[in-house]
């Protein structure tokens, strides 16, 4: 597919709209008109009578559709939206597909919804979603519900708040859908001792910075990878470092992703409980053993039940379970059965993801296609109905590029068990200090929408070999807080 950008600067938005309909197709962007025999989308801005005409002509095979909209004035925001609408109209006409999120391509729909509510009220925000962005009613109401749930959590954050993220980029095996930087424990075993040692040193450095700046720790989150893929001794070493360097008792929440049930045992659960962990994830993705095997997980549904029971026995009263709609080999009936089994266990959180077809995932390199998008939408609709019916409500949401059907990931909870870190991180509410390989520290001004990122080295071997460079990068934290007037 060729995307022609003629006389306008809206490459990013037009390319993203095109990817809604063709998520895995190679898109070549040019400022020239395409050859006549190529599948193409030609997007043009033509100035006229104090405004501009935003037009699109899309050719797929032997069919061609052209749409255009007139924009009064020359404001780039209005012109960009009109061009996105025109391109969307062409693609709907040619493909017969009507994406539920319309032309909305952003990662954070609820953040936009909150902004619109703030400027014009709830009714205005909903109308903007449906009338301007072409989002359907169901997804509009979802974004609205999430935005209202977030308000309560966001109000807890103070000017001097921050959260701590700890990256453990190791897993027992690599799932076929995974595009994260993670390494199997078997292959990375020799790196783990040095990694753990330096991770603890980085935690000490962040503690010193936070204390010097007078910052208050709100939440702690161990992610990865699978943090509990560490052995008992290494897991205890890291949690002991957090307890030593940070005031864990003052944090509102302390989460460790214990996602893979084959990495859990009573001893690790005791280590986490004694460290002050208040929330864990035990992530089935599915209760179907055949699907688990297909996606490269070396555990069974029975092991999920066992791990969940052991966690309850250890006293964990805030457990999350993740599921993915659209996994290879999963059917609508099988997915629904997984959701029902999860509801029967009654975890405090259930997160429903849409399969994202990332290029780094084996599921894509294995030529997995997009044919499951309609069934995936039905899965999401079923899970929404089932979770509402059983007392869960949506509190957290984000979207990924190349998700099947351009759909969303939603965190559901009950009994006021929202994951605070998820909201603070995704909605960019306050600073997040991030330690470990692949971690990204996000500095956020409490006074304005000013955000700056500091990147750690992506791979564990780089993190170990070039650790000294990270100390220099952290000097920027003091400079940032000085610039915003907090030093």
The boundaries of the domain holding residue 201 are 153-435
Residues 116, 230, single domain; the answer is no
Mean pLDDT value across the chain? 92
The Cα-based distances of 281 to 14, 250, 254, 259, 485 in angstroms read 37, 21, 11, 5, 38
Average pLDDT over every residue of 316-333? 94
Q: Are residues 157 and 138 in the same domain?
A: no
What domain count does the chain have?
3
Q: Give the Cα separation of 243 and 58 in Å (integer).
A: 58
Instruction: Evaluate whether residue 469 is within a structural domain.
Output: no
| Cα angle value 232/235/236 (rounded, 5°) | 85
Q: Token pair of 210, please?
A: 């936070």
**Residue pLDDT, tens place only, 325-353:** 999 889 999 999 999 999 999 999 999 99
Question: Do 216 and 341 have their domain in common?
Answer: yes
Please check whether residue 485 lies inside any domain of the structure. Answer: no
Q: Over the stretch 221-244, which tens digit does the pLDDT of each residue have?
A: 999 889 999 999 999 999 999 999
In a domain, 487, yes or no: no
Residue 365: pLDDT over 50: no
CA 199/CA 166 separation, integer angstroms: 8
Residue 419 has pLDDT above 50, yes or no: yes
* Token pair listed for 453: 């990122």
User: What is the pLDDT, as a whole number, of residue 364?
Assistant: 41
Q: Which residues is 287 bridged to in the sheet?
A: none
Quickly state the pLDDT bin for 96 (edges 50, 70, 90).
Answer: very high
Tell whether the model's pLDDT for residue 296 goes beyond 70: yes
Q: What is the arithmetic mean of pLDDT over 313-333?
A: 95
Q: Which residues contact 239 (CB under 8 A, 6 or more apart)?
A: 256, 271, 272, 275, 277
- In the 8-state DSSP scheme, what is residue 302? H
Same domain, yes or no, for 114 and 189? no
Q: Which of 152, 186, 217 is the last residue of a domain?
A: 152
Task: Check whether residue 32 and residue 123 sit in a common domain.
Answer: no
Q: Which of 435, 461, 481 is the last residue of a domain?
A: 435
Looking at 396, 415, 435, which one is the last position of a domain?
A: 435
| H or E stretch covering 382 | helix 373-389
pLDDT for 170 = 92
Amino acid 235: pLDDT = 98
Q: What confidence tens digit (pLDDT) does each residue in 374-396 have? A: 889 999 999 999 999 999 999 99
Residue 164 bridge partners (DSSP):
220, 433
Higher pLDDT, 369 or 165: 165
- In this structure, what token pair is assigned to residue 324? 């993915």
pTM of structure: 0.91
Q: Domain for residue 478, yes or no?
A: no
Q: Which of the four pLDDT bands, split at 50, 70 and 90, describes residue 371? A: low
What is the tens place of the pLDDT at every residue in 436-453? Answer: 999 999 999 999 999 999
The answer to whether residue 176 scores a pLDDT higher than 60 is no
Domain CATH for 74 = 3.30.160
pLDDT at 366 (0 to 100): 41
Q: How many CB atoms lie within 10 A of CB 426?
A: 18
474 in a domain, yes or no? no
Identify the pLDDT of residue 361: 42
**Chain segment 142-167, per-residue pLDDT in tens:** 999 999 999 999 999 999 999 999 99
pLDDT at 301 over 80: yes
- Under the banding of pLDDT at 50, 70 and 90, the label for residue 358 is low
Q: For residue 38, is it within any domain?
A: yes
> 121 in the Ramachandran plot: left (φ > 0), alpha (ψ -120 to 50) or beta?
left
Examine the domain organization and report whether 121 and 235 are in the same domain: no
pLDDT digits 0-9 by tens, 211-221: 999 999 999 99
What percentage of the chain reaches a pLDDT higher than 70? 94
CATH label of the domain that carries residue 314: 3.80.30.20
Do 91 and 119 reside in the same domain of the chain? Answer: no
User: Does 146 lie in the same domain as 82?
Assistant: no
CA pseudo-torsion sign 343, 345, 349, 352:
negative
* Long-range contacts, stretch 241-246, CB < 8 angstroms, 24+ apart: 241/199, 241/200, 241/203, 241/204, 242/164, 242/166, 242/203, 242/275, 243/275, 243/276, 245/203, 245/204, 245/206, 245/207, 246/164, 246/203, 246/207, 246/210, 246/217, 246/220
Distances (CA, A) of 58 to 53, 101, 309: 16, 20, 55
Query: Residue 466 falls within a domain, yes or no?
Result: no
Specify if 101 maps to a domain: no
**Is there a single domain that holds both residue 86 and residue 130?**
no
In a shared domain, residues 227 and 331: yes
**225 and 316 both lie in a single domain:** yes
Same domain as 237, residue 336: yes
């Amino acid at each position: 597919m060729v995307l022609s950008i003629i006389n306008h600067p809206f490459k990013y938005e037009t390319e993203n709209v095109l990817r809604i309909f063709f998520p895995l197709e190679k898109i070549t962007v040019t400022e020239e008109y395409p050859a006549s025999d190529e599948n193409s989308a030609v997007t043009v801005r033509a100035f006229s009578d104090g405004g501009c005409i935003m037009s699109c002509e899309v050719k797929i095979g032997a069919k061609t559709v052209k749409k255009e909209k007139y924009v009064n004035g020359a404001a780039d925001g209005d012109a960009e939206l009109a061009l996105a609408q025109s391109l969307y109209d062409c693609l709907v006409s040619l493909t017969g597909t009507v994406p539920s999120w319309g032309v909305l391509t952003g990662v954070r729909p609820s953040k936009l919804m909150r902004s619109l509510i703030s400027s014009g009220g709830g009714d205005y925000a909903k109308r903007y979603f449906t009338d301007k962005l072409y989002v359907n009613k169901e997804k509009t109401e979802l974004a609205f519900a999430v935005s209202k749930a977030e308000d309560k959590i966001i109000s807890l954050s103070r000017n001097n708040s921050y959260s701590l993220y700890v990256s453990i980029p190791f897993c027992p095996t690599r799932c076929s859908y995974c595009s994260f930087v993670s390494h199997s424990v078997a292959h990375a075993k020799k790196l783990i001792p040095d990694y753990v040692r330096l991770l603890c040193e980085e935690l000490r450095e962040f503690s010193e910075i936070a204390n010097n700046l007078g910052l208050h720790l709100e939440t702690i989150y161990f992610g990865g990878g699978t943090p509990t893929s560490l052995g008992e001794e290494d897991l205890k070493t890291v949690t002991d470092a957090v307890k030593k360097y940070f005031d864990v008792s003052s944090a509102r929440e302390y989460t460790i992703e214990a996602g893979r049930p084959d990495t859990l045992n009573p001893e690790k659960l005791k280590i986490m409980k004694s460290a002050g962990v208040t929330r864990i994830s035990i992530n089935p993705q599915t209760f179907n053993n055949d699907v688990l095997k297909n996606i490269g997980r070396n555990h069974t549904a029975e092991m999920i039940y066992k791990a969940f029971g052991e966690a309850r026995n250890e006293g964990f009263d805030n457990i999350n379970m993740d599921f993915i709609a659209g996994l290879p080999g999963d059917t609508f009936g099988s997915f629904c059965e997984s959701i029902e089994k999860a509801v029967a266990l009654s975890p405090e959180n259930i997160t429903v993801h849409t399969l994202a077809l990332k290029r780094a995932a084996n599921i894509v390199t294995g030529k997995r296609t997009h044919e499951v998008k309609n069934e995936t939408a039905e899965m999401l609709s079923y899970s929404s109905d089932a979770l509402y019916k059983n007392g869960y409500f949506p509190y957290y949401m984000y979207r990924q590029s190349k998700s099947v059907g351009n759909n969303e990931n939603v965190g559901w909870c009950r009994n006021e068990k929202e994951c605070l870190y998820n909201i603070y991180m995704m909605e960019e509410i306050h600073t997040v200090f991030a330690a470990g390989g692949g971690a990204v520290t996000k500095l956020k001004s409490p006074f304005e929408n000013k955000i700056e990122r500091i990147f750690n080295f992506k791979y564990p071997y780089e993190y170990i070999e070039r650790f000294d460079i990270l100390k220099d990068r952290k000097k920027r934290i003091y400079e940032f807080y000085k610039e915003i007037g907090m030093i």
